């Protein structure tokens, strides 16, 4: 009897796992067809729309100048560059003023978080509302012509537009950093590109995103959610204004140089993402089905795909457990489902690497991911059972 219950439990869990795995595979299959023709170019438009570029910064004095230098030449004559120095103890505000930006200094240690900084920027803009608002992280390098092209795309669509933002590994980095760069590309380029090819919305990424003022002015931002970008995208989809992905614009940020910085960044993101999947998605799923809101449903399915390393770890553990059950008691159904899941996941990774990752990592490096996943089991134990991050912690980028 116990064996049957265990088999049912394993088969059910493996069945649930097919949703994020086959969502990922579907996105990759769509993305490998290339860039959608309708997004390859944005028609010329007037530059009359006033855009406010808001940069939330928490002790980012050291990394702020390059970002401001990237953005300043792209501003129109009436555009504004605003830095929100949020609970800073360094010279962020002074540096921003020296670079010609408007500065909002916010001090509220009880409400520390990027979302609070964004809300402060919106409240400040209420005094003289712009037409468009763009958010850029303080450490995000912005490619030339990014702002004008995003402005035109946003005006044309009348919806939020998300640029492609990639993380890059430091020079002379380890295999773990190179793998992280590839899987970040999978998340921030391949998956949203696959959705864009089908005319579907995509997640917001926290930086490189632009909004019509009429949409962002009423957004709920005063919260400590560690994945405020995912929440905002879902909120906008609920009111029929899901974000669009514009893949022809690229901004870049660099991974933390230290292991501690990388681990803390990853832990905050995974904890926030898993919390949203468990607590928020069921309610939103019911609403999407009830209201026939298919854009919201697409985003829910996309958000339900956890970070790749976690998804692969779960799939691997499920397959090992299902094989063990088969060898012990001869029940094969969980093993079949888990095997299909694992094969689909492996296929998605190989397809994505073939089209988008060859110049980043070799096939030999890619094979190292499974060894890396085994080494990361202790990290996931800390994620699941350790203390919960609940505030904006500046990522360690020291050398």
Same-domain status, 213 and 335: no
pLDDT(368) > 50: yes
Inside any domain, residue 72: yes
- Is 268 inside any structural domain? yes
Question: 125 or 40: whose pLDDT is higher?
Answer: 125
Listed residues 303, 331, 347: the one ending a domain: 303
Residue 8 confidence (pLDDT)? 83
pLDDT at 89 over 50: yes
Residue among 292, 190, 286, 298 nearest 243 (CA): 298
The answer to the question of residue 398 being in a domain is: no
| In a shared domain, residues 79 and 181 | yes
Using the predicted structure, report yes or no on whether residue 156 has a pLDDT greater than 70: yes
In a domain, 393, yes or no: no
Query: Do 284 and 352 belong to one domain?
Result: no
Assess whether 171 and 277 both reside in one domain.
Answer: yes
279 and 158 both lie in a single domain: yes
Question: What is the pLDDT at residue 239?
Answer: 94
Q: Do 200 and 239 share a structural domain?
A: yes
Q: What is the per-residue pLDDT for 243?
A: 97
Q: Place 43 in a pLDDT band, splitting at 50, 70 and 90.
A: low
Annotate 133-158 with DSSP letters as a single string.
EEE--TT-EE-TTHHHHHHHHHHHHT
Domains in the chain: how many in total?
Answer: 2
Residue 37 located in a structural domain: no
pLDDT over 70 percentage in the chain: 86
Question: In this structure, are 238 and 313 located in the same domain?
Answer: no
Q: What is the mean pLDDT of the segment spanning 155-169?
A: 93
Domain co-membership, 158 together with 191: yes
**Residue finishing a domain among 268, 303, 338:** 303
Band (pLDDT 50/70/90 cuts) for residue 74 is very high
pLDDT interval class at 213 (50, 70, 90) = very high
Q: Which of 16-20, 104-108, 377-381 has the lowest mean pLDDT?
A: 377-381
Nearest CA-CA partner of 81 in 59, 107, 99, 106: 99
Neighbours of 228 (CB within 10 A): 24
Domain assignment present for 354: yes
pLDDT over 60 at 367, yes or no: yes
Residue 66 CB contacts under 8 Å (≥ 6 apart), including other chains: 141
Q: Would the pLDDT of 261 be above 60?
A: no
3-state secondary structure of 51: strand
Residue 110: Cβ within 10 Å count: 7
140 assigned to some structural domain: yes
Residue 213 to residue 125: CA distance in whole angstroms: 10
Question: Among candidates 187, 144, 198, 132, which has minimal Cα distance to 165?
Answer: 187
What's 188's domain CATH number? 3.90.550.10
The CA radius of gyration of the chain, in Å to the nearest whole number, is 22
CA atoms within 13 A on the CB side of 380: 17
Is there a contact between 64 and 92 (Cβ–Cβ < 8 Å)?
yes
**CA pair distance 228, 302, nearest whole angstrom:** 16
260 band by pLDDT with thresholds 50, 70 and 90: low
Evaluate whether residue 379 is within a structural domain: yes
CB atoms within 10 A of CB 352: 27
Give the pLDDT confidence of 297-338 residue by residue, as tens digits: 999 999 999 988 889 989 988 999 999 999 988 889 999 999
Per-residue pLDDT band for 398 (boundaries 50, 70, 90) equals very low
Q: What are phi and psi of 254, to 5 degrees?
A: -105, 140
Q: Which of 31-40, 81-90, 102-111 has the lowest mean pLDDT?
A: 31-40
Are 10 and 87 found together in one domain? no
The residue range of the domain holding 293 is 52-303
Shared domain check, 93 and 135: yes
Instruction: Give the pLDDT confidence score for residue 379 in this predicted structure.
Output: 65
pLDDT for 125 equals 97
Bridge partners (DSSP) listed for residue 162: 209, 245
Q: Is the pLDDT reported for residue 38 higher than 60?
A: no
From 7, 23, 8, 11, select the one nearest 300 (Cα to Cα). 23
Is the pLDDT at 397 greater than 50? The verdict is no
Average pLDDT, the chain: 87
pLDDT band at 53 (very low <50, low <70, confident <90, very high): very high
Q: 119 and 181: one domain?
A: yes
Are residues 131 and 163 part of one domain?
Answer: yes
Over residues 70-89, mean pLDDT? 95
Indicate the residue among 267, 282, 303 that finishes a domain: 303
pTM: 0.88
């Amino acid at each position: 009897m116990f064996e049957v219950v265990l088999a049912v439990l394993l088969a059910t869990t493996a069945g649930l796992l097919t949703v994020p795995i086959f969502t990922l595979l579907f996105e990759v299959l769509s993305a490998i067809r290339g860039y959608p023709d309708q997004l390859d170019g944005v028609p010329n438009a007037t530059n009359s729309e006033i855009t406010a570029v808001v940069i939330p910064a928490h002790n980012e004095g050291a990394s702020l100048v390059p970002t401001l230098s990237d953005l300043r030449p792209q501003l129109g004559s009436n555009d504004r560059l605003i830095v929100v120095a949020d609970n800073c103890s360094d010279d962020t505000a002074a540096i921003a003023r020296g670079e010609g930006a408007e500065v909002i200094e916010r001090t509220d240690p009880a409400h520390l978080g990027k979302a609070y900084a964004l809300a402060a920027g919106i409240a400040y803009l209420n005094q003289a509302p712009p037409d468009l608002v763009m958010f850029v992280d303080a450490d995000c390098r912005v490619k030339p012509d990014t702002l004008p092209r995003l402005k035109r795309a946003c005006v044309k669509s009348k919806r939020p537009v998300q640029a492609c933002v990639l993380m890059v590994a430091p020079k002379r980095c380890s295999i773990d950093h190179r793998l992280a760069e590839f899987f970040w590309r999978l998340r921030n380029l391949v998956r949203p590109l696959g959705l864009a090819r089908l005319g579907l919305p995509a997640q917001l990424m926290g930086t490189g995103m632009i909004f019509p003022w009429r949409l962002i002015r009423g957004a709920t931002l005063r919260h400590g959610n560690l994945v405020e970008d995912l929440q905002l995208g879902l909120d906008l989809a609920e009111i029929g204004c899901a974000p669009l992905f514009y893949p022809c614009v690229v901004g870049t940020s660099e991974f933390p140089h230290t292991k501690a910085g990388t681990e803390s960044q990853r832990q905050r993101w995974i904890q926030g993402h898993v919390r949203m999947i468990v607590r928020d998605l069921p309610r939103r799923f019911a609403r999407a089905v009830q209201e026939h809101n298919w854009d919201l449903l697409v985003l829910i399915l996309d958000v339900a795909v956890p970070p790749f390393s976690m998804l692969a770890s779960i799939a691997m553990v499920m397959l090992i457990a299902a094989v063990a059950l088969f060898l012990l008691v001869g029940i094969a159904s969980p093993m079949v489902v888990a095997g299909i899941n694992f094969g689909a996941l492996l296929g998605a990774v190989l397809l994505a690497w073939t089209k988008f990752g060859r110049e980043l990592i070799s096939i030999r490096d890619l094979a190292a991911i499974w060894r890396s996943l085994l080494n990361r089991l202790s990290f996931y134990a800390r994620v699941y059972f350790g203390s919960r991050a609940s505030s904006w912690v500046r990522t360690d980028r020291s050398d």
